[in-house]
Each structure stands twice: as C-alpha cells, then as structure tokens.
Structure 1
Amino acid sequence: MPSPTSRLRWLRAKLYSVRNGTGAAILPPNISRIALSFNYKSNNGHMGPRKFFRECLPRLKYHNPEVDMTVTRKDALEGPATLTIHFTNTPIEQELQLKKKQPTTPTIRETISTIDIDMLNRYPDDIMEELVTKTKATLYSEPPRPQELEEEAEYLAAKRQNELKEKYKLQRADRRKGKDDQLKGAILA
C-alpha cells in the first residue's frame, strides 16, 4: 500500500487537474442548466463531444456546483451532438442575494431562453471556447503556487530523474552480464 505522503501528493495533483485546464470557467449566475446530448460511439463526429464530457464537464461542474448539468447519451449510430444552455430571467443581483441567503437549498428557476451549440465534428477546446463566448463566462486561473509546493515539485522531479537513471544503469548492467554469460557458454561449448 502506498504511503500516506504519496497518496496525498497524488490527491493534490488530481485536485489541481480538476481545478485547472480546459473547462475551468465560472458561469454567470443566470444560467440554470446545461444539457449535453451525444452518441455512445465516437463514430460520425462524436469524439469531440465525448472528450468534452470526460475532460471539460467535470471542471465546469467543479466551478459551478449550483448549475444542473444533464447528459443524454444516445444509442443511435448517427444524429446530432448538441450542448444546450438554459438561461433564467432572474436578475443577476437578485440571484447573488439568493445564493448568500440559502447556499445549500437549490432554487427552482424558470428558463426563459436557450442556446444550442452544435458539437458534431469539433474539438473539445473549440466547444469550450464557444460556450465561454456565448455565456460570457470567466475563465478560472489558478493563483500562483506557494513556495513550499514549488520546492516539493522540484524535489519530486529530481527524485524521479535519479530513479530513472538508476533503473537504466541496472538494465545496462544486466544486459552486459547476459552478453558475458552468452560468450562464456559459447566458449565452453
């Protein structure tokens, strides 16, 4: 079993990857729901929507837990791949006040308009870029790492490099020993 320190480092790296990257955006409060619809199979241009679902949607959900995100995966071989964004009529100031009063209770908001984004034959970065421009979302940027985390990252990189050097030295020594054994066997035979 891995040590607690290595598990903590793994968890820290995993959380960092969820917080940052493509899909890390803070949506405006007037968005009530995002609906994603695509096929199970990646044929016929559905690879981009699948990658968006796997890579970008978790980051969006992490930064926007109050937004309902539904995914519909169809079993058809062909068909559209759409991302539907539902907007509400609640003014932004009133929405912010509701969040401050009841942070744990979900509010039922009436949808007044929707925007569809066609995701067929598109890369996840392009889909995310269009989502950000159409919703006027703000991209999340991680604050700079503390100094001790930078030092730890440098230490781990140097340690990994040294481990790899040792591994390759041992492999080379084993190969030489195997060649020497083959030569001795050939000479004796």
Structure 2
Amino acid sequence: MTDDRVTVALTGASGAPYGLRLIECLLQQRQQVLLLISSAARVVLATEQGLKLSASPDQALQQLTAYFDERGCPPAADQLKVYGKEDWFSPVASGSAAPKRMVVCPCSTSTLSAIATGSSNTLIERAADVVMKERGQLIIVPRETPFSTLHLQNMLQLSQMGVTVMPAAPGFYHQPQSIDELVDFMVARLLDHLGIEQSLVGRWGYAKESS
C-alpha cells in the first residue's frame, strides 16, 4: 500500500522558509502533511516570516491554511494536520500508525542531540524515534554554523543509524537570482530524497543536454 503521508517537524533553528516551502510543495503533490511545530519554531516563524502561529494546534491549522491559500496552494480536506508538542495520541507517536517518512526542517542542534540520544521528551523527538525504530526514512536539515565537534558527533551517530543528514547548504551552480531560488534548491533535494516529483531545480547535466 502506498503511503502518501509525510511527517514534517519545524524546530527552532533559523531556516523557516525551507520548512514552509517544503510543506507547500508536499501539498501541491497531494501528500498529506502531519505537522509538528516546536515552541522555538513559532518564534523563528514570526521573526523570519512574520507568521505568528498560535500555540493551539487547531488555531495554527487555520492560520496555516490561510497562509497556503494566499500562496495559491490551499490544503484539501485533512491534507494538513497540526499536532501539539505533547499530543501522545497522534499517529506519529506510534509505530503502528506513523508515516514512514519524516523531515525535520529546519533542525536545531538541540533537537539533533535529542534525536541522537533517543530522549523522546517531546512529540517531535518521539516521532523521529518512531521512524528510526520502524526502519523508515528520517531526514534532518540542521542549520548552524560553525558546527561544533559535538554537533558533528551527533550527526555522525545519526548517519550511522541510517538517518539522512542534509545541512541547509544550497548550491549556486544553477545561478540563483533570488533568495527564493536558494530555498528551492534545498527543497528540491529534499523532495528528491523523499521520492517525490519536483521541477524546482533541474538535475545536474540534463539542462546542458536539453540546450
């Protein structure tokens, strides 16, 4: 059975545009998004995007629905779900119900550490732990610079456990002309790894052949 669900977690690292654009593209591709938002992520969203989300999952869902509607991508019924940080009865908290794919974008170094050590103190950490134990696909997008030795050790540990570590480091070979195009570069790579069609950025070598 094909699972068209993806868990997306937004945490307190800088890089809110990456997370929002990823959600938008997933909605466009008719994927169901199960969204988890940390308290720090709400601060980052307000600071970087002017998007002030309520701590109430229901109200946050209404706000995000309006946000994506304004961008021409209104979620279909039940296509976007928002869960609170301690909603332990949500599907993402159990291996019997959670999606097999999860992206933490952006991923703070504190969330990175918690996932690496299996602390599971919040729903985001538990959801990541579930995906890992069920041998699903977990992608984390850390956004920090420079990385300390501890950060690198945590990333190495996760990589050795099968997690894809994809730092927010956009390339420039596609000659981006705007910040949006830099964001799209990272989102395109995420969609590629999720196995979802994308036309945001051409693939290396093919643009030259087509010209």
**TM-score normalised per structure 2:** 0.19
Higher relative CO (Cα under 8 Å, sequence separation at least 6) belongs to 1
**TM-score normalised per structure 1:** 0.21
**Larger fraction in helix:** 1
Higher alpha-carbon Rg: 1
